[in-house]
A and B are shown apart, each in its own frame.
Chain A
Amino acid sequence: MREGHFRNPSGCAVAAVIDRGGNKLTGESMISAIEVMHDRSNGLGGGFAGYGIYPHFKDVYAFHLFFDTQRAQEETEAFLKRHFEIVYCSEIQTRKLPSVKNEPVIFRYFLAPLPIKLSNSHLDEREYVARCVIKINSVIDGAHVFSSGKNMGIFKGVGYPEDIGRFYRLDEYEGYAWTCHGRYPTNTPGWWGGAHPFGLLDLSVVHNGEISSYDANRRYMEMFGYKCTLQTDTEVIAYIIDYLVRRQRLTLEEVSHVIAASFWSTIERKEEPARSQETLLRRMFPSLLVTGPFSIIVGYSCGIMGLCDRLKLRSMICAEKGDRAYISSEESAIRRIEPSLDRLYSPAGGEAVIYELYDRGGQA
């Protein structure tokens, strides 16, 4: 059985770093951070998301794809040609390691939507691209788009995260923000698409936990055209955030009041306008409350967000040093790459920690 044919909960390690001034750092620092938390993974999945890594192609969408078969690649490329102008494409360069086995064919495409197709679709550009991604992943057997944002990329696979990072030669990429993930699934997936981060457009999510609200969330999200093909918690959380931020235009902090909402009794004690705003958000989106243990790190063009479930059933710690901010499952991972910190703290359950670029990457 492969990922997507069964539900696969997993324990994990997560970590992230951002340079708020926009200075670049290589993927190597993330690799050494996650390596410290080796025991939180079991060699069945690891991955990274890097932001700001494709400055030369920053205005087009970078698709990363896994192909199981030649035929899947041909079908996908035919689909891509019908919907996009392929600006550049190549196999993703990897370093062969004995510990990373059975890798699929891994390709990268830089894509610009075909203007006529886009305007005929009556969709905004991002919705158009998102639908194409969902279409490929749910319709073309043996093809999987695992990264689809601008000036960012996800790199993931089956193995320990430090090995996956070296396999993808992340020491050769430079970005202003990185997130990473080591996976401890309770099933044997053996499929690369199931690893984290999970992404859609520039949004990426790494997640530690097993949510108990999964099917309530999934069945709700599928009303809006999302197809949860992987049946993982991370996938549904990513779709929820995409839906709330991109389609309902909520802020990330408002998103945290939906998915990790305060208890009614806590909300009642809050000051206005927080009380009425949080009440309203819970009444508007009750089916998007996520229960059960989770700690997630969300990456997006402007920054990173850390968030735990409202009971804080998974560990998460945040730190700051100069322009740099860190989020991790364990303090050890942060100390590994920055031994002396200005500030170190544990956010409360349901408390969103948001670190953004000082200039928000030029975005509003």
Chain B
Amino acid sequence: MNSLWEKFLEKGKVENCPVYDMHAHMGTYSRIYFPYGEFDSEKTKQRFDRSGIKLLIFCHHWTLFSPDIGNTANIETVRKLPEKLRAYCGVNPNYPEIIEKDVDEFEKYKDVFVGFKLLADYHGLPITHKNYAPAWRYANRKKLLVLLHTWGSSHYNGPQQIRKVAEKYPDARILMGHSCHGEWDEAVKVMKDFPNVYAELCAVVDDRGGLEKFLDKVGSKKIVFGTDWPWFNHHYYIGAVLDSGLSDEDAHNIFHRNAEKLLEKLIY
């Protein structure tokens, strides 16, 4: 057993093991009641402090689901709690004119954005579609993060589509949100084939076994921690990771070291 479990159990957080949540959201959402849906910077900070969240990177629900609101929701929220928050610039391929504008203005919001978020299963166009190209090219040129919603067997953001963008944009750092959920072996193959592709754990730990497979076949240096917060609770996810039989080194890699490396030149 790793020694971090006892420490997290005792205090809820561990000083030398900060946690970076690389996949989160903010705001209310029509299909779910979130007790912490309404953003309040003090309450949010308190919740993060309970589990040692050092930084959380999100894309606001309203950005993803309303082109009328767009990335304004991300910008306003990060600037209310800049010591704990950064955002992914939300990309909706059904509005290419908004993507072009957001890419043009990306530099203006270096204090807010660390990359892009694509939600192809919901927006209905595969991540390889030409409408995403301005965001992909920019991410590739600037070595930004691109958080994908991915799912096994999806024709929009499944393993086959990830292969195509990973090959075409080798300098973009691609985080497979949900790690091609269910198609764990394919996720392993993609990570092995492409150094710029990482597993992200949101929804992976809902079922025991997926994380263990990643640790065994790919190793902890290719895995980042994420929760879809406020969909899911940080302590729940930290407990799940620590119950997977991993070593302290692996846990440090997953909770913070890999994120620190990925974000090294992206935090201003």
- Chain A partners chain B: no
